[in-house]
């Protein structure tokens, strides 16, 4: 769980902030400054609707918008969005998802949303490219 913005940041075991957690964190910083959403929008030079969607946990800011929010609030990126990384995704996107196709039980939908090494990514891409193609004799030996 991520600590409140006023507690000095997240605990070391936090993986990422969900959109909802980011919204709560942003709202905490607003309250700390005594601002409303409209004032943050003015100070950051962002549309009020954008601020609203961040606070409600609908969307995350782009990197450019994050920089504007930080400047307006007088905080660092790490304070506003700790553990910012390519893995900072919303809770509703699992790392791995496999579902049998309703139209064809011999097929499945696969979704992978995970940071992997380049070599693993290439292997996965090769497997996907070969899927459904007949296996040549020399490929059968590789397994």
CATH number at residue 20: 1.10.260.40
124 and 66 together in one domain: no
65 and 106 together in one domain: no
What pLDDT, on a 0 to 100 scale, did the predictor assign at position 5? 38
71 pLDDT band (50/70/90 cuts)?
very high
Report the pLDDT averaged over residues 99-117.
Answer: 85
90 pLDDT band (50/70/90 cuts)?
very low
Is pTM beyond 0.85 here?
no
Cα separation, 45 vs 117, in Å, equals 38
Report the pLDDT averaged over residues 136-143.
Answer: 50
For residue 15, give its domain range: 5-80
């Amino acid at each position: 769980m991520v600590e409140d913005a006023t507690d000095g940041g997240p605990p070391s075991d936090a993986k990422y902030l969900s959109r909802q957690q980011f919204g709560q964190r942003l709202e905490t910083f607003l309250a700390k400054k005594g601002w409303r959403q409209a004032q943050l929008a003015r100070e950051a030079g962002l549309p009020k609707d954008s601020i609203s969607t961040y606070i409600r946990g609908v969307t995350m800011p782009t990197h450019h918008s994050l920089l504007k929010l930080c400047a307006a609030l007088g905080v660092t990126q790490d304070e506003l969005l700790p553990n910012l990384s390519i893995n900072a995704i919303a809770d509703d996107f699992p790392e791995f998802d496999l579902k049998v196709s309703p139209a064809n039980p011999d097929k499945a939908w696969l979704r992978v949303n995970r940071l992997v090494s380049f070599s693993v990514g290439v292997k996965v891409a090769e497997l996907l490219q070969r899927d459904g193609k007949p296996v040549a004799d020399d490929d059968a030996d590789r397994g």
